[in-house]
Each structure stands twice: as structure tokens, then as C-alpha cells.
């Protein structure tokens, strides 16, 4: 391919002509290069990246050590297919993830390509290991777009609408979304009714002995950066243990340092039976992982799991370099500092801008929910969109989240400098100020 001299506008017209609208786009710009926390478009404009490729670039764009590992690997071999000729990077990364993930029991890991595939495999393994059909999922959950994954996903438009019939035997309960409690209760006087209601659910919707798995995000990602109370997952896990249900933590967005621990479940002191990982696992290379109790992971027969590209050697080498960089650069401490700064700033916005309805966070996974009115809590979807557009015009890339797309969810690379972080937050502040003046 020749070096591009096409403008964003020309490329956008070509994109519209040749590519369907389904694979959506948030920003009408095309990348030329990206490094650390800066993305440069084809016209040479630089943006501070608060989106990180939707949580994929926790260690920053084009990390030097990842590049070195990848270059070394492609000089040796790129693909043999793990099912045909095995290779060490797959085994080594599995070994590292088995010891890194919560839980001291024997574990095994397999690899796939995307988050959705990790979720699909986790459910298949749980069904095989338990001999049961059903899965419990949550309102506002996001688990991907393949047919089983989208059946587990909650939001109708755009994810589910028009794609029915969905995979069967999926049952949904409310998440601990305290700002919008499904039971109209308040924490802590609610005594975690949302978690304990699962007991009754087993009488009214699905018998516990037919449930293979409960799959849950430790912090809702696409659902709006919702952080449940500390004891929530302990209650859910106990109900799973009492009923022989596999507890699956979907750490695809919350994992790899985003919450200032390697895995968000560590904050809750809960050890899932199976963990799904993807996104920041391999610094931008398509790789996902499923790590779980050895006896469960070993249950499906040879050939029952796998795929042509799963655990590609280049992606596994990138993953190994990512783990090294987390240690070398102490990115967990950095995530803690970033989270503190963002939370403080968003709380200040809450005090100054009436459209901020709620601010919440865990580590650097901090969300700001916008509403048209604090009393009615009506989602301010249009304002959120305008805020994101205004920020882009000023040189900051951001994305939204939430079932009503009214939550600002910063997913900046954890290698972002203090100056870039300050500048990005200032752009949000300025944009907010302008939008409040125009809507006042
Ligand atoms: C929690 C969670 N699970 C699953 C997925 C699906 O991952 P992918 O888009 O790689 O299929 C995502 C993606 O945003 C996610 O955040």
C-alpha cells in the first residue's frame, strides 16, 4: 500500500462506499500513527487518546518492548496453528496467566482471538463441566457480538435488535447499579437485595440445578462503568458455590491493570472459577484468554475447543511483553494515580455542572454519568454525544458507555504523562463549560 495522502474526508467517503454501516465508527478520522497516549490522524492532527482503542492500549500505543518481541517472532515464524505444530509462546503465556490470575488452585489457560470468543468458550466449558444448559447474565451487561455473546449482552439497540432468535437458556437478573437500583433501594440499607434475589430467582425463573454458569463483569464496561458494592460478588459467588454453578468473571475490559489491580475481582477478594480476558492482554494484537480451574478446563474432549488462529504466536509474544512491561513500569501504581486524578476532577465537575448525575470508579476505571435533570435522572444522551464531539475538535478522543450512551468512560493508556492527562481533563472541562453555556 502506498503512503496515504488522502484526507479524512476522502477516506470517509471511500469507507462509506465500500464498508457496511454495521461496523460502527465513533470519530470521523483515520489514523496515521500512534505512540504512547497520542494518536495522529492522516492530516497530521494530534489527539490525546482517552479511548485506548476501547481499553486495548493500557500499556500505550506501540510499546517498544512489544514491538521488539513481535519483530523477533515474525523473523522466526508467524503461524503454524497450535493444533498442528505447537510453540512455546502459547505454553509460556498460559503458564504466566495461570499464576497471575486470582486463586491458588491448579489452573489451565486456552487462547482465542476476541473477547466474544473468550466468552463463548467459557460458557461452553462450564456447560460441558456441569452437564447443565443455562447461564445467568445481567442487565446492562456486555459480552460481545457473536451470537451466544450477544445473547448474553443486555442492550437491545444496536447490539441485539434484528438478530433474534438468540441463544436459548439465558436468564437475566439486575446488576448492582446503585445509581439506578432496579429495586428502588439504597445501599447499604438494601442489604444487597439485588444479589440475594438470585435465591428467589431459582424458584421463579430457572432451577439452580439447571444452571451451568453465572457470567458477570466485575465493573460494567460498555454498561456504564458501574462499580458494585464491596460485598456484592462474595454473595453471588457463595450462591454459585452452594448450587454447583460455575462463577465466570468477564475481565475483558476491567482486567490488565485498568482498576489498579491486574484483575478487578482482586478488589472484591473473590476468586472466579473461570476468567475471560482480551483487550489489553496483548497490547493491540488480537488475543483473548480463558483461564480456569484445571478440572473444568480439561473437561471438554480434544478438538471440542480451539480454532485456526487462537493463540497466534505473534500475539502470544506481545502478551508476554505486556506482562513484563506491567512489572517494569509499575503500571498498577500508575493506574491508581490516574484514577485518583480523574475521580477528583470528575467530582469537581459534579459540583460545577448540573448535568453530571453520578461519578464512580475503581482504580482508573472512572465513569461520569450525564443526566438532563438530577431528580428524574433522565439520561443526557445527546449532551454526551456533543461533549465527545466538542472534545475531539479540541484534540481529545473519548468514547461513551451505558445502555443509554450517557456515560463518559475514559480508557486512556496507563503510560499517559501527567501533562497529557491534565490537558485531556482540561479539554473536557472547557467543552463542558461551552456546552452548559449554549444549553443554559
Ligand atoms: C466485558 C466485555 N466482554 C466482552 C467483550 C467483547 O470483546 P470483543 O469486542 O473483543 O469481542 C467486551 C468488549 O468490549 C467487553 O467489554
* 164-192 burial: b if 16+ Cβ within 10 Å, else e: eeeeeebbbbbbbbbebbeeeeebeebeb
Task: Count CB-CB contacts under 10 A for residue 439.
Answer: 12
Measured from the CA of 119, which atom of ligand 1 is nearest? 4
pLDDT exceeds cutoff 70 at 268:
yes
Q: Which residues contact 184 (CB under 8 A, 6 or more apart)?
A: none
The pLDDT value given to residue 5 = 83
Q: How far is the CA of 375 from the centre of ligand 1 (A)?
A: 32
Task: List the residue whose alpha carbon is closest to atom 3 of ligand 1.
Answer: 143
Helix 193-204 and helix 232-242, axial crossing angle in degrees, nearest 10: 30
Cell of 241: 458455590
The pLDDT value given to residue 421 = 98
| 215-264 pLDDT per residue, tens | 999 999 999 999 999 999 999 999 999 999 999 999 999 999 999 999 99
Cell of 136: 445467568
pLDDT exceeds cutoff 90 at 3:
no
Q: Which of 242, 234, 268 is nearest to 102 (CA)?
A: 268
pLDDT exceeds cutoff 80 at 85:
yes
HEC sequence for the chain: CCCCCCCHHHHHHHHHHHCCCCCCCCCCCCEEEEEECEEEECCCCEEEECCHHHHCCCCCECCHHHHHHHHHHHHHCCCCCCCCCCCHHHHHHHHHHHHHCCCCCCEEEEEECCHHHHHHHHHHHHHHHHCCCEEEEECCCCCCCCHHHHHHCCCHHHHHCCCCCCCCCEEEECCCCHHHCCCCCCCCCCCCHHHHHHHHHHHHCCCHHHEEEEEECCCCCCCCCCCCCCCHHHHHHHHHHHCCCEEEEECCCCCCCCCCCCCHHHHHCCCCCEEEECHHHHCCCCCEEEEEEHHHHCCCCCCCCCCCCCCCHHHHHHHHHHHHHHHHCCHHHHHHHHHHHHHHHHHHHHHHCCCEEEEEEECCEEEEEEECCCCCCCECHHHHHHHHHHHHHCCEECCEECCCCCEECCCCCCCCCHHHHHHHHHHHHHHHHHHHHHHC
Ligand 1 near 359 CB (within 6 A): no
pLDDT exceeds cutoff 80 at 197:
yes
DSSP β-bridge partners for residue 137: 172
HSE-up of 187 (CA within 13 Å, CB side)? 16
Q: How far is the CA of 307 from the centre of ligand 1 (A)?
A: 18
What value does the CA radius of gyration of the chain take, rounded to a whole number of Å? 22
Identify the residue whose cell numbers are 500500500: 1
Q: How far is the CA of 288 from the centre of ligand 1 (A)?
A: 10
> How are strands ordered across the β-sheet holding 134-138?
107-112, 288-293, 274-277, 246-250, 211-216, 134-138, 170-173
Task: List the residue whose alpha carbon is closest to atom 8 of ligand 1.
Answer: 115
Residues 391, 398: contact at Cβ < 8 Å? Answer: yes
Mean of all residue pLDDT scores within the chain: 97
| 103-137 pLDDT per residue, tens | 999 999 999 999 999 999 999 999 999 999 999 99
The pLDDT value given to residue 436 = 83
pTM for the whole structure? 0.97
Ligand 1 near 287 CB (within 6 A): no
Ligand 1 near 227 CB (within 6 A): no
Ligand 1 near 142 CB (within 6 A): yes
The pLDDT value given to residue 266 = 98
pLDDT exceeds cutoff 90 at 153:
yes
The pLDDT value given to residue 4 = 62
Identify the residue whose cell numbers are 475514559: 410
Ligand 1 near 120 CB (within 6 A): no
Task: Count CB-CB contacts under 10 A for residue 85.
Answer: 9
Helix 64-76 and helix 313-328, axial crossing angle in degrees, nearest 10: 150
Query: What whole-number distance in Å separates Cα of residue 116 and Cα of residue 133?
Result: 19
Ligand 1 near 251 CB (within 6 A): no
| 32-77 pLDDT per residue, tens | 999 999 999 999 999 999 999 999 999 999 999 999 999 999 999 9
Query: What whole-number distance in Å separates Cα of residue 304 and Cα of residue 128?
Result: 10
Task: List the residue whose alpha carbon is closest to atom 10 of ligand 1.
Answer: 115
44 cis-preceded (ω within 30 degrees of 0): no
Ligand 1 near 109 CB (within 6 A): no
Ligand 1 near 310 CB (within 6 A): no
Ligand 1 near 250 CB (within 6 A): yes
Q: How far is the CA of 54 from the centre of ligand 1 (A)?
A: 9
Q: How far is the CA of 115 from the centre of ligand 1 (A)?
A: 5
Query: What whole-number distance in Å separates Cα of residue 49 and Cα of residue 417?
Result: 11
Residues 192, 176: contact at Cβ < 8 Å? Answer: yes
Ligand 1 near 66 CB (within 6 A): no
Residues 91, 317: contact at Cβ < 8 Å? Answer: no
Identify the residue whose cell numbers are 518492548: 65
The pLDDT value given to residue 440 = 52
The pLDDT value given to residue 439 = 61
pLDDT exceeds cutoff 80 at 2:
no
| 366-411 pLDDT per residue, tens | 999 999 999 999 999 999 999 999 999 999 999 999 999 999 999 9
As a whole-number percent, the residues of the chain with pLDDT over 70 amount to 98
Amino acid at each position: 500500500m502506498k503512503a496515504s495522502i488522502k484526507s479524512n474526508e476522502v477516506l470517509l467517503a471511500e469507507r462509506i462506499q465500500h464498508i457496511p454501516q454495521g461496523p460502527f465508527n465513533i470519530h470521523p478520522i483515520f489514523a496515521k500513527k500512534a505512540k504512547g497516549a497520542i494518536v495522529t490522524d492522516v492530516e497530521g492532527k494530534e489527539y490525546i487518546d482517552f479511548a485506548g482503542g476501547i481499553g486495548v492500549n493500557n500499556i500505550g500505543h506501540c510499546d517498544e518492548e512489544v514491538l521488539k518481541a513481535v519483530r523477533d517472532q515474525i523473523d522466526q515464524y508467524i503461524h503454524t496453528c497450535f493444533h498442528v505444530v505447537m510453540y512455546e509462546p502459547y505454553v509460556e503465556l498460559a503458564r504466566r496467566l495461570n499464576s497471575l490470575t486470582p486463586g491458588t488452585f491448579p489452573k489451565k489457560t486456552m487462547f482465542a482471538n476476541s473477547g466474544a470468543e473468550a466468552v463463548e468458550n467459557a460458557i461452553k466449558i462450564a456447560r460441558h463441566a456441569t452437564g447443565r444448559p443455562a447461564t445467568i447474565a445481567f442487565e446492562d451487561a456486555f459480552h460481545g457480538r457473536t451470537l451466544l455473546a450477544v445473547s448474553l449482552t443486555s442492550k437491545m439497540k444496536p447490539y441485539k435488535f434484528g438478530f433474534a432468535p438468540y441463544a436459548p437458556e439465558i436468564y437475566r437478573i439486575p446488576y448492582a447499579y446503585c445509581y439506578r437500583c432496579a429495586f428502588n433501594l439504597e445501599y447499604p440499607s438494601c442489604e444487597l437485595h439485588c444479589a440475594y434475589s438470585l435465591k428467589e430467582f431459582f424458584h421463579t425463573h430457572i432451577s439452580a440445578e439447571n444452571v451451568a454458569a453465572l457470567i458477570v463483569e466485575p465493573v460494567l464496561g460498555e454498561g456504564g462503568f458501574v462499580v458494585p458494592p464491596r460485598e456484592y460478588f462474595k454473595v453471588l459467588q457463595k450462591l454459585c458455590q452452594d448450587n454447583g454453578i460455575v462463577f465466570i468473571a468477564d475481565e475483558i475490559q476491567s482486567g490488565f491493570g485498568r482498576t489498579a489491580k491486574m484483575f478487578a475481582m482482586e478488589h472484591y477478594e473473590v476468586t472466579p472459577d473461570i476468567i475471560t480476558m482480551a483487550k489489553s492482554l496483548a497490547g493491540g494484537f488480537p488475543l483473548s484468554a480463558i483461564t480456569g480451574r484445571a478440572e473444568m478446563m480439561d473437561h471438554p474432549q480434544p478438538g471440542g475447543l480451539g480454532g485456526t488462529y487462537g493463540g497466534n504466536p505473534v500475539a502470544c509474544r506481545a502478551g508476554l511483553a505486556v506482562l513484563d512491561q506491567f512489572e517494569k513500569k509499575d503500571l498498577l501504581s500508575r493506574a491508581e494515580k490516574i484514577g485518583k486524578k480523574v475521580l477528583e476532577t470528575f467530582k469537581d465537575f459534579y459540583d460545577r455542572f448540573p448535568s453530571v448525575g453520578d461519578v464512580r470508579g475503581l482504580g482508573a476505571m472512572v465513569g461520569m454519568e450525564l443526566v438532563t435533570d438530577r431528580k428524574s435522572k433522565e439520561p443526557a444522551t445527546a449532551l454526551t454525544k456533543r461533549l465527545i464531539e466538542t472534545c475531539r475538535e479540541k484534540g481529545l478522543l473519548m468514547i461513551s458507555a451505558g445502555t443509554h450512551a450517557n456515560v463518559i468512560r475514559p480508557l486512556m493508556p496507563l503510560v499517559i504523562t501527567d501533562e497529557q492527562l491534565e490537558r485531556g481533563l482540561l479539554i473536557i472541562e472547557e467543552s463542558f463549560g461551552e456546552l452548559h453555556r449554549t444549553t443554559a
